[in-house]
């Protein structure tokens, strides 16, 4: 159960006010926290609970499904304890920014650049926030749900004609 | 002090030693690398975006094209993630064949690595030998799935088809030859003076830095971190096999080379154990809503045809939720983060490619090195641009 997870117990003790939701699905624990506290909580997870490997930083666009629109997702792994935790933080569209965790894990430099490029979330205090996969002059963020699959200014694909 | 003049050199995107379309902008002080900036994205095909518009089965062929040197590892990670979302059990035979194919894929990928890495540093013989051996695995791929590279062999719930008669014999024949081949590579490289001079002390990254930069897989083990997902978070029945996880000490290119060579020998051992434990049985889970019906039913009964058509065109609904499943791909931790909204297509699929994070460490590993050593650093990271750019 999620309540017995070692990280969840400690987080609930220390950051009870900032935790929005704790969920377990298929044996994976997801903790949703307030955006303002993301850096502090990630720092606690890294330093006190030894989640030393930041495997992944990504984001999900919940356009029209829930508010706030974006959800930043951090998949953390602890090499000494061999366990995982997923931390999420909601990011509103109006102020589409969140603190960068590059100060904690350098792997986030590339990973956050990709989220910025494809999802359009700004990472505050990121040392080198540039587009990474798309060209520098690209307009728009392709992984957003309102970005057309065919790319901008093109007819949507209607299937093969023959 | 004399004036210091920094020269900027461009390397790639078309360059034989960048292993694909990688572009590096290098700032040089004489021959010493001051700063290195990777530019990627030349091979971006939008796999994550495309998958949001395809059913779960239709995404499997896209995963073949991520790390095109190790297609079955990519398939494996993806189908495991979908199966985790669905919560279905896979029959033992399918799991064992998956392990055999995943380990053959590791051999295939490491053979390309040793071939290109050695070629970059100037040992051409190894390149020819390793590609010859790889050909045997490619032929097996073709026999089993119909394609040499884009295999598309695994399915959600099991495998696309039963293996052909004589598959076990073929695999045994291939892997029986391998230990002698590894001895040949070692004979050509391990004590080779030029090889040692080019790799010892090259691309050093400490264990702390390697974890900090998110390096995974053999590159991390070369830095002395004893961590392998197959052993520590087993999937697809890996807990049943005995194998050792090689670990390096000196954190340099030479140790990473030795780690990968031992890993190849261990892969052969795992394949042997898997072949020994292979028993007849079903290759697809007993879940008609998710799995394709047997081909005889599709060809001979109308119900089977309808069943096949329904799964091929409409797909299957997947419970709402999110999972992250990772596998020990030849290059490192390959993760799939899937978000489902209950429909027949992923709401969001995120691929965590090992090469992408490993490449992020190049600025650390190559800084202060001579420019001629850069190709050795790229080679030891074992990157594939199809996976970095997706």
What does CATH list as the number for A2-124?
Answer: 3.30.460.80
Q: What is the mean pLDDT of residues B295-322?
A: 89
Residue B167 structural domain: 44-389
Q: What is the mean pLDDT of residues A140-161?
A: 82
pLDDT at position B106, please?
Answer: 92
What pLDDT, in 10s, does the model give residues B229-261?
888 888 888 888 988 899 988 888 899 998 999
- Taking CA–CA distances from A73, the nearest residue in chain B reads B337
Nearest chain A Cα distance for residue B388, angstroms: 9
What pLDDT, in 10s, does the model give residues B66-105?
888 889 999 999 999 999 998 898 999 999 999 999 999 9
Whole-angstrom distance, CA of residue B368 vs CA of residue B204: 11
**Interface test mutation site (partner A, options B234, B322, B358, B365, max chain A beta carbons within 10 A):** B322
In a domain, B24, yes or no: no
- Which of B48, B324, B357 lies closest to A86 in CB terms? B324
What's the mean pLDDT when you consider all of chain B?
A: 88
Q: Whole-prediction pTM value?
A: 0.89
pLDDT at B372 over 90: no
Q: What is the CATH number of the domain that holds B63?
A: 1.10.645.10
Q: What is the mean pLDDT of residues A26-38?
A: 88
Q: Is B40's CB within 8 Å of A132's CB?
A: yes
Alpha helices in B301-353 (DSSP H): 302-313
Cα–Cα nearest to B120, from B195, B190, B191, B192: B195
Q: How confident is the model at residue B339 (pLDDT cuts 50, 70, 90)?
A: very high
Q: Is A109's CB within 8 Å of B360's CB?
A: yes
Burial class (CB in 10 A: 0-12, 13-18, 19+), B99: buried
Nearest chain A Cα distance for residue B119, angstroms: 29
pLDDT at position A1, please?
Answer: 60
pLDDT at position B273, please?
Answer: 92
Q: How confident is the model at residue B110 (pLDDT cuts 50, 70, 90)?
A: very high
B348 touches chain A (CB under 8 A): yes
- Which of A107, A131, A149 lies closest to B49 in CB terms? A149
pLDDT at position B41, please?
Answer: 87
What pLDDT, in 10s, does the model give residues B195-206?
888 888 888 888
Q: What is the end-to-end Cα distance of chain B in Å, rounded?
A: 47
Residue-wise over A58-68: b if at least 16 C-beta within 10 A, else e?
A: bbbbbeeeeee
pLDDT at position B81, please?
Answer: 92
Interface ipTM: 0.88
A-B contacts at Cβ under 8 angstroms: 96
Chain A residues bordering chain B (beta-carbon distance below 8 Å): 25-26, 28, 30, 52-56, 58, 60-61, 65, 73, 75, 79, 82, 84, 86, 105-107, 109-111, 114, 118, 131-135, 142-143, 147, 149
- Taking CA–CA distances from B53, the nearest residue in chain A reads A149
B227 touches chain A (CB under 8 A): yes
Please give the share of chain A, as a percent, with pLDDT higher than 90.
20
pLDDT at position A72, please?
Answer: 92
DSSP for B42-93, written as a single string: TT---HHHHHTTS-TGGGHHHHHTTSTTSHHHHHHHHHHHHHHHHT----HH
- Which of A56, A79, A133 lies closest to B40 in CB terms? A133
Whole-angstrom distance, CA of residue A33 vs CA of residue A20: 5
pLDDT at B336 over 90: yes
Considering its fold, how many domains does chain B have in total?
Answer: 1
Please give the share of chain B, as a percent, with pLDDT higher than 90.
25
Q: How confident is the model at residue B384 (pLDDT cuts 50, 70, 90)?
A: confident
- Which residue did the predictor score with more confidence, B18 or B185? B185
pLDDT at position B375, please?
Answer: 86
pLDDT at B149 over 90: no
pLDDT at position B1, please?
Answer: 55
In a domain, B256, yes or no: yes
In a domain, B217, yes or no: yes
């Amino acid at each position: 159960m999620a309540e017995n997870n070692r990280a969840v117990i400690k987080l609930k003790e220390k950051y009870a006010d900032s935790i929005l939701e704790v969920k377990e699905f298929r044996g994976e624990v997801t903790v949703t926290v307030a955006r303002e506290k993301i850096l502090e909580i990630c720092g606690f997870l890294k330093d006190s609970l030894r989640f030393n490997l930041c495997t992944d930083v990504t984001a999900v666009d919940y356009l029209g499904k829930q508010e706030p629109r974006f959800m930043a997702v951090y998949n953390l792994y602890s090499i000494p304890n061999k366990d995982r935790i997923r931390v999420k933080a909601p990011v509103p569209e109006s102020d589409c920014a969140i603190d960068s965790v590059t100060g904690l894990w350098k792997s986030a430099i590339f990973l956050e650049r990709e989220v910025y490029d494809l999802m359009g979330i700004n990472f505050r205090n990121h040392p080198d926030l540039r587009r990474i996969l798309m060209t520098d002059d690209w307009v728009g963020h392709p992984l957003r749900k309102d970005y057309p699959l065919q790319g901008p200014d093109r007819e949507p694909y209607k299937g093969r004609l023959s | 002090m004399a004036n210091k003049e920094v020269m900027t050199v461009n390397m790639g995107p078309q360059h034989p030693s960048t292993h694909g379309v990688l572009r590096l902008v290098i700032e040089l002080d004489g021959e010493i690398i001051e700063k290195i900036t990777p530019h990627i994205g030349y091979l971006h095909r939008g796999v994550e975006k495309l998958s949001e518009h395809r059913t779960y089965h239709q995404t499997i062929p896209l995963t073949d094209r991520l790390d095109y040197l190790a297609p079955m590892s990519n398939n494996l990670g993806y189908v495991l993630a979908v199966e985790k979302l669905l919560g279905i059990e896979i029959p033992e035979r399918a799991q064992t064949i998956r392990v055999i194919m995943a380990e053959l894929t590791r051999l295939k990928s490491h053979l390309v690595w040793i071939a290109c890495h050695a070629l970059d540093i100037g040992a051409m013989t190894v390149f020819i030998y390793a590609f010859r051996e790889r050909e045997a695995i490619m032929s097996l791929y073709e026999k089993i799935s119909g394609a040499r590279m884009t295999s598309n062999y695994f399915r959600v719930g099991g495998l696309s088809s039963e293996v052909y008669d004589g598959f076990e014999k073929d695999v045994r024949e291939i892997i029986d030859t391998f230990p002698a081949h590894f001895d040949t590579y070692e004979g050509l490289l391990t004590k080779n003076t030029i090889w040692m001079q080019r790799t010892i002390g090259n691309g050093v990254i400490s264990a702390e830095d390697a974890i900090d930069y998110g390096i995974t897989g053999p590159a991390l083990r070369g830095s002395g971190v004893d961590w392998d997902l197959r052993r520590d978070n087993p999937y697809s029945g890996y807990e049943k096999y005995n194998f050792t996880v090689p670990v390096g000490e000196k954190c340099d290119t030479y140790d990473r080379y030795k780690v990968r060579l031992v890993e190849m020998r261990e892969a052969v051992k795992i394949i042997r154990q898997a072949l020994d434990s292979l028993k007849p049985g079903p290759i697809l889970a007993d879940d008609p809503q998710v799995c394709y019906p047997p081909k005889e039913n599709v060809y001979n009964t109308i119900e089977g045809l309808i069943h096949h058509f329904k799964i091929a065109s409409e797909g299957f609904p997947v419970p709402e939720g999110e999972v992250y499943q990772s596998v020990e791909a030849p290059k490192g931790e390959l993760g799939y983060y899937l978000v489902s909204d209950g429909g027949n297509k992923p709401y969001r699929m995120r691929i965590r490619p090992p090469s992408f994070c490993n490449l992020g460490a190049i600025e650390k590993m190559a800084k202060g090195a001579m420019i001629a050593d850069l190709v050795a650093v790229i080679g030891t990271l074992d990157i594939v641009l199809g996976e970095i750019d997706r």
